[in-house]
Amino acid sequence: MKFSKLLLAIPLIIFILPTLNAQTKKIKRPKSRVGISSVDNFVQESFDLYDKVYKYDGYAASGKSLDDEDIDVLEDALEEMSLLSDSAPNIINDLDGVGMLKQGKATLQMNKAKKALKYSIKTSKQLLLGQRERDSKEEKNDSPTTKDSDNKKDSKDTKNTNDSSTKNTEEAPSNISDDLEVYSKFDFVPGDKLIFFDDFSQDFIGDLPSKWNTNGSGAIVKFNKVEGNWFELKAGYLLFIIPEFNQLPEDYTIEFDLLTSGITNKTSSSSRLEVVLSDSNTFVYGKKHYAKVALPIAQYKVCNIDTYNHFHERGGMINSGLIADIRDEVKNQPHISISVTKKRFRLWVNEVKYVDIPKFIEELNVLNYLKFHIDRLKDGEERVFIKNLKVAEGGVDLRRKLMSDGKISTNGILFDSGSDKIQPQSLGIVRQISQVLMQDENIKLNIVGHTDSDGSDEANLKLSKARAEAVKDALINIYKISKDRLTTDGKGDSKPVSDNSTTDGKAKNRRVEFIKI
């Protein structure tokens, strides 16, 4: 029997009792899949239902009454949650025979999903009966801050960041977990000859970065909880933001970090971040030739990653929408990787490859410029930022180069600033090195780290050695290479290959060498 009949005798005023306090902490949805369909489906369905309950709990906590439609949704969700909870023991059996790391990850995600279900079932029952009260333990562990109040706070806090006099107290979403194991099969390999790099470290807060052009606006901002300077890309009709370089080879890679603020279910479903390859550095898509990929920003529903190309007057062969649920990624500082190999175009969001079109670039050597374009965002509320734009020639198969030359040097293995913590998107290179070692068990390698000149000589020497050790540890722990085949060393900033006074030069000097011994 539906709970709504019982509710006929309960005044709706019960939903605005003063004991209903705002929630303070949300259970976080896992950011990656396990690869076991039953587990992934259980986790996704659990958190989809949890999000519904969380929304209505937020309504009640803020004093908003639930109407008949809300009650019907909660009743249906409660029934689904009960069935889903009953299925959990059977899913555990699917873990038999899988690897230990995957089994551990699956268990962690199942436990988190069951915790979300437990909270959801208990809370939905209390909401339906008008008895939603929270004890102190539950407030601390299970209950999230309502999204609406978060977004209002974000909007209020971020309105003045374009002013160069701001005190930089802005907050941003927390980073995703740097789980290297998730990236163990990541096959993106960045180019090895730098064309353009900008981390905006040399620019002033509130200014347009010095190496960019636009027909609109944009500014450098800084956050309390996210490292470094970020470039805010302003939205507008035919408003383009263009890094200033004028030549792209046939083979190259593009990488950047993405950050969003104020993005909600009310953000336009047509909001997109477009990455455009063009034959012109003017403020149009292109004169005769261009190709673009559009990443969805909205949270309301699953939206496509759109791809479109245009060559000569006839248009192009590609105009497609690829289904891709990247809503969680968009809110959690994803790393975007693009590889262009002659006509082939590939795109990854974090470790997942979403686009792989063999003949996207219909005509070679005509698309020499990179542009960014955003539209359909609310000014001052919904905001998009980028950092660490890196464009590099190559995407060379490092395996062949290491085998033929006996050594390679790469600045594609990235670390957190001043740290030996490998950024997970760098594992495409480490994976290729592991494949060389697996192919020939007689090969031994010396791994040598190098830094730029920031900091003291002593600190840089120590850091370079620690970074070489971190790469060694990744080869051992993720790819199961014997430690007896690997040695490490560090040279600090003593052997630069470029000018340490420029951003580009520093990026080239931060590198790792692999040398056959």
Per-residue pLDDT tens digits for 89-127: 677 666 666 677 777 788 888 888 888 888 888 888 887
When pLDDT is averaged across residues 451-465 and rounded to a whole number, the result is: 93
Q: What is the CATH number of domain 398-516?
A: 3.30.1330.60
Give the pLDDT of residue 187.
Answer: 82
Q: What is the dihedral sign for C-alpha 493, 498, 500, 502?
A: negative
Domains of the chain, by residue range, sit at 3-145, 180-393, 398-516
pLDDT score of 17 more than 80: no
pLDDT at 133: 52
List the one residue out of 405, 403, 422, 406 whose CA is nearest residue 414.
422
* Distance from C-alpha of 274 to C-alpha of 269, rounded to nearest angstrom: 14
Q: Can you tell me the mean pLDDT for 125-148?
A: 51
Q: How confident is the model at residue 145 (pLDDT cuts 50, 70, 90)?
A: very low
Which range is least confidently modeled, 47-61, 439-453, 480-494?
47-61
Provide, rounded to the nearest whole percent, the portion of the chain with pLDDT above 70: 81
Cα–Cα distances (Å) from 374 to 58, 228, 268, 286, 329, in that order, read 31, 22, 12, 16, 18
Predicted pLDDT at 131: 60
Q: Is residue 9 predicted with pLDDT exceeding 80? A: no
pLDDT bracket for residue 165 (50, 70, 90): very low
Residue 498 has pLDDT above 60, yes or no: yes
Cite the beta strand spans of 53-207 per DSSP E. Answer: 193-198
**What's the CA gap between 186 and 503, in Å, rounded?**
27
Write down the pLDDT at residue 353. Answer: 92
CA dihedral (447, 437, 256, 169) in degrees, to 10, reads -50
**pLDDT at residue 150, rounded to an integer:** 40
Contact between residue 429 and residue 188 where contact means Cβ atoms under 8 Å apart: no
Report how far residue 421's alpha carbon sits from residue 59's, in angstroms, rounded to the nearest whole number: 41
pLDDT at 503: 85
Mean pLDDT of 17-21: 36
- Other residues' Cβ atoms within 10 Å of the Cβ of residue 195: 20
Q: What is the DSSP letter of 415?
A: B
pLDDT score of 138 more than 60: no
Name the pLDDT band for 64 (thresholds 50, 70, 90): low
Please give the average per-residue pLDDT across 490-508, as a whole number.
91
Give the pLDDT confidence score for residue 366 in this predicted structure: 95
> Does residue 396 surpass a pLDDT of 80?
no
pLDDT of residue 149: 36
pLDDT given for residue 92 in this prediction: 64
| Res 75 pLDDT > 90 | no
Kindly indicate the confidence band of residue 300, based on its pLDDT and cuts at 50, 70 and 90: confident
- Mean pLDDT within 439-464: 93
CA angle 271, 274, 277 (to 5 degrees): 165
Confidence category of residue 21, pLDDT binned at 50, 70, 90: very low
* Whether CATH 3.10.20.30 fits 180-393: no
* Token pair for 212: 């960019």
